[in-house]
Structure formats: structure tokens, C-alpha cells
């Protein structure tokens, strides 16, 4: 029995699998089989040691990774076993709260709010306060809300029944909005992503018995991509593993790419600080990539100072050199990539799905997308596409949510779509009645549908449609329910009448994905479970079974692998991005280098790095990224003509940027109107000085441009 789980693993991996007790950390480079060891360890615990999957928590970084892990584990332990404890941090918090949140006076079927829902709440508040609405204001407030939620204090405020939150008491407008937000959030029993973690902490802190129950329950805990855990996530894991003390973590400090969001690689690097008795296992054979790709990755990452070098080797046969392509324009870059893709398919028999195109930021996909469409090549975007954020999809899901939860947010979203003559005034009336009677808006409408105020509306029809479906919601498949609710409420007719084929296609796509999901889920899928899963399912995780080229950001590509990888837009100010250069902090640049390293190490057989001339979105002239110049020349082949001048200029820009980065900040050395000489831009005059940013605005005469230049420039 054991052989099944241990075959296909090297000695060190086998050690990682069979060392089940105590705290163990695996540190190893990309493609060394960490995730494979972790998956097999799960199966080993279940099959060889007889551990129940429900006593085994396995934390992955994204929903996509957890789905993939479930699939692999099921192959090893049998499809009928419950693998619900293979989950993301947030997914696991939902699980805890669904069981125990009543201690905090919240119902178990609380709502999970995504950014769209948060904005809906803000929109209401702005209307009530008669403020002008705009998206950037919302983003600013949401940021403030997120800052407040770095701490758990507000959870206590929400729970305080004697002294409830009172927005009237404050004069400060932002503060008032935030308090109103909390109040409304409470009213719909909604929890956003930050809340999920915070509520869990408060629950554990205030209800020791609940914490003990979960500690008792979790005999073994495993965490993948541990280098990207934040201190709060680590704290949660530490709490949960306190009783049985069986904690297994794997990671690669060189792949930390979420420091900007609080990830801290010290937890893996100095793991022994918290777990003095821990065992450490190193894996040093790479199974993923050719020696060329492996070496290119290593030559790049060695430029980071804050790291410990790893000694990786591979037995994979030698492959092609890594190609760096330089184009004269974005169009040329895109065309070259497309030709290469066609070549891979025709000459090397590659399938489209074996090809991935990676980039630093979402907007970079556009130029390549245009070309893919032009050439009629199927492609799919992971992330950025935001299928589930489209209006019609949100509407359809709001209908389902209304059936499941009857909540105000969903109600408001669709009560007047299609038009039912239930506009602002009647909604206001409903709100007042609802407030008086302590009912939800939907239940209020249901109660008063025949009231004279609603006589000339379609309230009655609407309520009837929803009620008739609510009765059968637990009996029919969710996909059928979706179809029924779209028809019964007239939503489908509405988009058909509008003649908007895209929207219709999208709704059909939702239907299709549901049928597919039901088939793969195996048992009866409940409406509530489906909705909860969807809210946690970020746009990154769209199921995609078509044979198509995959496009995604580097962040999304984490943990994945593809035979052929194109890393596009490798320009200075894109990768590394502008902010990391402007920050003048070495660690920001090092995170960019780690990103490039993660991208490179996704490739199995062939790797293409591409960039082109032109200007960035902010109007800066593009130069090849400094990372290109850091690669091992022996393993690299350059294609495309780069002017000598351009190469020299690029290197100069990088030199200047480097110098700026290592110099301490100073006072402005020049006054307004002073003449300066810049090694690349030539003669210029300082037009103005920005004290805050410590920048000069310099007009360069010969080039006829005005550029912000740092003070530290001499």
C-alpha cells in the first residue's frame, strides 16, 4: 500500500512524506517536487496511517491550487473521500465560521461580500448622505476600511449590543461613512475577506472551547507556498497546531512575491525560532525544467543579496537555449510571438494548452490578445478577465442568492431589473417599513405586495416567482434552478430583447460551468455551498478545459508549470515595475527579481523572454529590462536587432537608476531654473521642484520632453 504513495519520489521526498510527527519544514527551489511531496504525504497519512481526511488540514495558496490538489489526492485515496479540508486560508475560515459564528451573534448562513458588494453598500451610503459617487472615492474608502481591519477592535464594536455603532456621533465624514458601512454590513450579516480572518481570531480568542475543539480536531496541518504566508496567517496556523504539534510546511524563499501584501519569508527562513525542534529537509533535484532554463533562473536570482543560495541540479536532457527577443514595436513583439506559437504547434506538435503567456500586469495582455484574435487562435485568460464580475453574471447570481439567503444586497440588485416600477421612492418606503418591522427588504415586499403603494407595480408577480422557486430549491439541481429563475423573473427575456449576444453568451457560459461543476462535484451540490464557493473563487480560477493558450499574470502563475512559456513585456519600468525603482529600496527591486524568477521557473521545455521599443503607458521610453542583462549569456540567444545606441542607453539608464537607488536621500542640490546635464536626456532646465516626492521636473530641450528626475541625481 505504501509503495503507491512513495513511488515516483526521491529519497528526500520520501523522507518528507514519511516523517509525519512534529514540525517539519521543506525548503527547496522551484520545480523540486515540494507540492508533489506534500500531496503524497497527505495520501500517506490517510492510506498508510489511517488518518481521517477531516483531521488533516492542508492549506494552499489559491483556489486553483486547492482544486488541483484535491484532484491529485483523490486519485491516491479514492474519489469518494471528503477532501474539504484541502483549502485556502479564507476557505478554511469560512468553514470554521459556518460552524461556530453563532457565538458572535451572527447566523451561520452569513453572506460573503466581495469588492462589488462592498461598493454596492458604499453606493447606498453615498446616496443617503447625498454625496457624489465616484469609483476612486470608493477605492480610497475601501482602503481605509481595510486599514481599520488590520486590527480586530471593530469586530468587538460590531458585537457590542449595549453600545451599538452610531455614525451620528462623529463629525469626520470618512469616519461616518466607515461606521455606516459597518452598520450596513452587520444588517445583511455580511463578511468581507478581511472579516473572515478577523472573526475567526476573535472567535478563538473569546471562546477558548471553540478553539480547543478545532485544535483537537486537526491532528495534522500542512501548508504549501509557506514563504508567502503573512504574520496573521502564520498566527492562525500556530494556534491551530498547538495541541497536536504536527505541522508540515514547504516553500521557497526565492519565490516570495507577496511581501507587498504582508507576506514574510522569515517564517520559513527562521522557522526554528518558533519551532526549535523542527526538522529541515532540502530537496535539490529539479524535475521540471531543462538545464538551460534552470541555469537562466539561477543566474538571475543570484543577483539578489537577501538570500541563501541553493544548490540545484537536474538530470533532464539538455534543451534549446533560452530566447530573448527584442522587437521594434509592440506589434512586432506580438507578431513574433504568434509566429513562434504557430511554429510550436505545426513543427513540434505542441497543443495550445501547453503554451503560457505571462506578464507583470493585467493591462499587458491587450496587445497580445489583439494578435491572438486576429490569428484566430483560442486563448483563455486566468485572472483579469473577471468573468464573475460582469453585470449579467452578478445579476444572475444575485437571483440565486436571493433564493438562498433573501438578503438585501441581492434584492436591491435585481428587484427592478427588468423594470417592475419599484424605483427609488418605493425602495425608500420599503426600507422604512423593513426598519420598523425588523424584516429584510424582500420579506417586507412579500408582506406588502398587495398594499396600495405597490398596486401599480409588478411586486406581486416577482414575489410569486421567487416563492415558487424557493420551495423547490433543495430538490432540483442548481443549474436547473438557475435556468428557472432566469425565466420566471423575466431576466432572460430582458437580455434577449436587448439583443445583446455577449451578455446572453455569458449567462449561458455560467449555466455551462455550473453543469460541469455539478458533474465533477460528485454528490448533490447545494445552492448555498455553490454560492459560497463562488464568492471565494476569485476570477483566477475559471475552469478551462478548452485547448487554448493560457494568459495570466506572474502572480497567478505561481505553482503552475507549462512546457512552453513566453514572458512578455520584459522592459525596464514594467518588470521591474516603476514603483520598485522609484521606491529606491533594494528589497522592492528584489521582489521584482523574484517575480521574474517565478515566471522563468514555470517553463519546462522552452522559454522565451520578449520586449520591444516604444513607450510605457506613462510615456516613458522603453528599454530592455535590467534582468535581461543579468542572465547567463551562455544559455541565452538574442533575436531581433537592438541598436548599439539603444543598448548603451539602456545600460546607462540602469546605471543611473542603480546609483539613485543606493544613494541616501538629500536636500535639493539645485534651484528652480538651474541648468543640468543628464547622461541620457542631455541638457535640461529645472522647471519646478516637488519637495514631497523629492523630485525635479526637468525640461530637456533637445528631446523636447519634461521628466521628473530624483533629487539624488547629481
Query: Which C-beta is closer to ligand ATP: that of 321 or that of 602?
Result: 602
Structural contact between residues 341 and 347, judged by C-beta atoms closer than 8 angstroms? no
Span interacting with ligand ATP, options 7-15, 298-306, 457-465, 542-550, rule CB under 6 A: 7-15
Four-CA torsion 497, 498, 503, 505, nearest 10 degrees: 40
Distances (CA, A) of 422 to 408, 432, 457, 647: 14, 15, 7, 64
Give yes or no for residue 25 binding ligand ATP (CB under 6 A).
Answer: no
Please report the beta strands in 23-181, taking only residues with DSSP state E, as ranges in sequence order.
23-28, 56-59, 86-87, 111-112
- Which of 17, 25, 27, 34: binder of ligand ATP (CB under 6 A)? 34
Radius of gyration of the chain (CA): 28
Catalytic residues: 34-35, 224-225, 255, 602
Peptide bond just before 473 cis, omega within 30 deg: no
The Cα-based distances of 599 to 259, 339, 547, 561 in angstroms read 17, 21, 22, 10
Options 32-40, 76-84, 358-366, 664-672: segment touching Mg ion (CB under 5 A)? 32-40
Given the rule CB under 5 A, which of 31-39, 43-51, 448-456, 460-468 is the region that contacts Mg ion? 31-39
Which of 12, 30, 58, 364 is close enough to bind ligand ATP by CB under 6 A?
Answer: 30
Residue selected from 35, 88, 354, 540 as contacting Mg ion according to rule CB under 5 A: 35
Cα(683)–Cα(557) distance, rounded to whole angstroms?
44
Verify binding: residue 5, ligand ATP, rule CB under 6 A: no
**Do the beta carbons of residue 307 and residue 346 sit within 8 Å?**
no
What does the per-residue mask of binding to ligand ATP show for 239-268, with x meaning CB under 6 A?
-------------x--x-------------
Query: Does residue 661 contact residue 581 with C-beta atoms inside 8 Å?
Result: yes
Instruction: Confirm if 531 and 388 have CB atoms less than 8 A apart.
Output: no
Identify the residue among 2, 4, 6, 10 touching ligand ATP (CB under 6 A).
10
420 versus 602: smaller Cβ distance to Mg ion:
602
Of 427, 428, 410, nearest to 491 by C-alpha is 410
Give the count of beta carbons closer than 10 Å to the beta carbon of residue 586: 14
Least gap, CB of 559 to Mg ion (angstroms): 4
CB of 66 to Mg ion, least distance (A): 12
| Per-residue x/- track, 557-596, Mg ion (CB under 5 A) | --x-------------------------------------
The nearest distance, CB 284 to ligand ATP, in angstroms, is 11
> How many Å apart are CA 647 and CA 611, to the nearest integer?
13
Residue range at the interface with ligand ATP (CB under 6 A); choices 28-36, 214-222, 268-276, 547-555: 28-36
Contacts of 451 (CB under 8 A, 6+ apart): none
Using alpha carbons, select from 583, 594, 549 the residue that is nearest to residue 665.
Answer: 583
Query: What are the residues facing 708 on neighbouring strands?
Result: 697
Taking CB under 6 A as the criterion, the residue among 24, 33, 117, 537 binding ligand ATP is: 33
Residue 605 lies near ligand ATP (rule: CB under 6 A) = no
Q: Candidates 5-13, 66-74, 97-105, 612-620 — which segment interacts with ligand ATP by CB under 6 A?
A: 5-13
Sheet holding 322-327, edge to edge: 379-382, 549-553, 355-359, 562-567, 603-612, 322-327, 636-639
Q: Which is nearer to ligand ATP, 29 or 190 (CB)?
A: 29
Among 41, 149, 288, 621, binds ligand ATP (CB under 6 A): 288
Using the minimum distance from each CB to ligand ATP, give the nearer residue, 28 or 709. 28
Is 35 a binding residue for ligand ATP by CB under 6 A? The answer is yes
Q: Which residue has the closest beta carbon to ligand ATP?
A: 33
Q: Find which of ligand ATP, Mg ion, none residue 31 binds, CB within 5 to 8 Å per kind.
A: ligand ATP
Phi, psi for residue 427 in degrees, rounded to 5: -65, -40
**Residue 383 lies near Mg ion (rule: CB under 5 A):** no
Tell me how far, at minimum, the Cβ of 607 lies from ligand ATP, in Å.
Answer: 14
Selection from Mg ion, ligand ATP, none that 375 binds (CB < 5 to 8 A by kind) is none
Sketch the per residue contact string, 203 through 242, with ligand ATP: x for CB under 6 A, - otherwise. Answer: ----------------------------------------
Helix (H, G, I), strand (E, B) or coil at 393: helix
* Number of residues this chain uses to bind Mg ion (CB under 5 A): 3
Determine if 635 is a binding residue for ligand ATP (CB under 6 A).
no
Pick the closer one to Mg ion by CB: 518 or 561: 561
Element containing residue 605 per DSSP (H, E): strand 603-612
**Burial of residue 60 (number of CB atoms within 10 Å: 0-12, 13-18, 19+):** buried
Enter the C-alpha cell of residue 170.
462623529
Q: Which stretch binds Mg ion (CB under 5 A): 118-126, 235-243, 553-561, 581-589?
A: 553-561
Q: How far is the CB of 65 from Mg ion (least distance, A)?
A: 8
C-alpha cell at 59: 492549506
Beta-carbon-side half-sphere exposure of residue 365 (alpha carbons within 13 Å)? 20
Nearer CB in complex with ligand ATP: 495/596? 596
Among 46, 60, 114, CA closest to 91: 60
Q: Is residue 506 a contact residue for ligand ATP (CB under 6 A)?
A: no
Binding-site ranges for Mg ion (CB under 5 A): 34-35, 559
Binding-site ranges for ligand ATP (CB under 6 A): 8-10, 13, 28, 30-36, 252, 255, 287-288, 559, 561, 601
Amino acid at each position: 500500500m505504501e509503495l503507491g504513495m512513495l513511488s515516483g519520489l526521491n529519497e528526500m521526498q520520501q523522507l518528507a512524506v514519511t516523517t509525519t510527527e512534529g514540525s517539519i519544514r521543506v525548503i527547496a527551489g522551484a520545480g523540486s517536487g515540494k507540492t508533489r511531496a506534500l500531496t503524497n504525504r497527505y495520501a500517506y497519512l490517510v492510506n498508510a496511517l489511517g488518518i481521517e481526511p477531516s483531521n488533516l488540514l492542508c492549506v494552499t495558496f489559491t483556489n486553483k491550487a486547492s482544486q488541483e490538489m484535491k484532484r491529485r489526492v483523490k486519485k491516491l485515496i479514492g474519489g469518494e473521500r471528503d477532501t474539504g479540508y484541502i483549502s485556502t486560508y479564507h476557505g478554511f475560515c469560512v468553514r470554521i465560521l459556518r460552524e461556530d459564528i453563532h457565538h458572535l451573534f451572527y447566523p451561520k448562513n452569513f453572506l460573503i461580500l466581495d469588492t462589488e458588494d462592498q461598493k454596492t453598500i458604499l453606493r447606498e451610503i453615498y446616496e443617503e448622505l447625498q454625496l457624489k459617487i465616484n469609483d476612486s472615492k470608493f477605492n480610497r474608502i475601501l482602503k481605509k476600511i481595510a486599514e481599520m481591519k488590520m486590527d480586530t477592535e471593530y469586530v468587538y464594536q460590531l458585537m457590542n449590543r449595549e453600545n451599538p455603532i452610531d455614525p451620528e456621533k462623529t463629525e469626520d465624514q470618512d469616519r461616518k461613512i466607515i461606521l455606516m458601512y459597518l452598520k450596513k454590513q452587520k444588517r445583511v450579516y455580511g463578511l468581507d475577506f478581511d472579516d473572515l480572518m478577523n472573526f475567526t481570531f476573535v472567535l478563538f480568542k473569546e471562546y477558548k472551547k471553540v478553539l480547543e475543539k478545532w485544535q483537537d480536531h486537526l491532528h495534522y496541518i500542512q501548508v504549501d507556498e509557506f514563504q508567502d504566508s503573512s504574520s496573521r496567517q502564520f498566527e492562525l496556523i500556530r494556534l491551530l497546531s498547538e495541541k497536536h504539534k504536527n505541522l508540515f510546511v514547504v516553500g521557497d524563499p526565492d519565490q516570495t512575491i507577496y511581501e507587498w501584501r504582508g507576506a514574510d519569508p522569515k517564517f520559513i527562513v527562521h522557522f526554528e525560532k518558533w519551532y526549535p525542534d523542527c526538522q529541515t529537509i532540502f530537496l535539490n533535484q529539479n524535475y521540471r525544467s531543462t538545464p538551460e532554463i534552470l541555469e537562466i533562473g539561477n543566474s538571475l536570482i543570484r543577483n539578489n543579496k537577501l538570500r541563501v543560495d541553493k544548490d540545484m541540479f537536474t538530470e533532464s536532457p539538455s534543451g534549446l537555449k533560452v530566447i530573448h527577443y527584442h522587437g521594434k514595436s509592440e506589434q512586432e513583439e506580438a507578431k513574433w510571438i504568434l509566429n513562434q506559437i504557430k511554429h510550436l504547434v505545426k513543427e513540434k506538435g505542441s497543443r495550445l494548452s501547453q503554451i503560457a503567456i505571462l506578464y507583470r500586469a493585467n493591462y499587458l495582455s491587450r496587445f497580445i490578445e489583439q494578435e491572438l484574435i486576429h490569428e484566430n487562435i483560442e486563448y483563455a485568460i486566468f485572472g483579469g478577465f473577471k468573468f464573475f464580475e460582469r453585470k449579467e453574471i452578478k445579476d444572475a447570481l444575485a437571483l440565486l442568492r436571493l433564493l438562498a439567503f433573501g438578503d438585501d444586497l441581492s434584492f436591491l440588485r435585481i428587484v427592478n431589473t427588468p423594470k417592475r416600477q419599484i424605483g427609488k421612492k418605493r425602495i425608500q418606503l420599503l426600507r422604512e417599513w423593513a426598519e420598523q418591522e425588523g424584516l429584510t427588504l424582500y420579506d417586507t415586499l412579500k408582506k406588502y405586495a398587495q398594499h396600495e403603494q405597490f398596486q401599480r407595480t409588478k411586486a406581486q408577480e416577482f414575489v410569486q416567482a421567487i416563492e415558487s422557486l424557493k420551495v423547490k430549491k433543495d430538490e432540483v439541481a442548481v443549474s436547473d434552478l438557475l435556468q428557472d429563475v432566469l425565466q420566471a423573473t423575466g431576466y432572460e427575456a430582458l437580455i434577449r430583447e436587448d439583443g445583446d449576444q455577449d451578455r446572453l453568451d455569458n449567462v449561458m457560459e455560467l449555466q455551462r460551468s455550473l453543469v460541469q461543476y455539478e458533474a465533477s462535484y460528485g454528490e448533490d451540490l447545494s445552492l448555498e455551498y455553490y454560492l459560497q464557493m463562488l464568492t471565494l473563487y476569485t476570477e483566477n480560477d475559471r475552469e478551462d478545459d478548452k485547448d487554448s493558450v493560457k494568459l495570466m499574470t506572474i502572480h497567478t502563475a505561481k505553482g503552475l508549470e507549462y512546457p512552453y512559456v513566453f514572458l512578455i513585456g520584459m522592459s525596464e519600468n514594467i518588470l521591474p515595475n516603476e514603483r520598485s525603482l522609484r521606491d529606491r529600496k533594494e528589497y522592492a527591486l528584489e521582489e521584482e527579481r523574484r517575480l521574474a524568477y517565478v515566471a522563468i521557473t514555470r517553463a519546462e521545455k522552452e522559454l522565451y523572454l520578449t520586449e520591444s521599443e516604444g513607450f510605457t503607458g506613462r510615456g516613458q521610453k522603453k528599454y530592455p529590462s535590467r534582468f535581461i542583462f543579468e542572465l547567463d549569456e551562455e544559455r541565452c540567444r538574442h533575436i531581433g536587432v537592438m541598436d548599439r545606441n539603444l543598448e548603451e542607453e539602456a545600460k546607462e539608464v540602469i546605471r543611473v537608476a542603480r546609483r539613485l537607488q543606493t544613494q541616501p536621500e538629500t536636500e535639493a542640490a539645485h534651484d528652480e531654473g538651474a541648468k543640468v546635464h543628464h547622461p541620457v536626456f542631455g541638457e535640461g532646465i529645472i522647471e519646478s521642484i516637488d519637495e514631497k516626492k523629492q523630485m525635479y521636473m526637468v525640461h530637456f530641450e533637445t528631446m523636447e520632453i519634461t521628466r521628473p528626475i530624483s533629487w539624488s541625481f547629481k
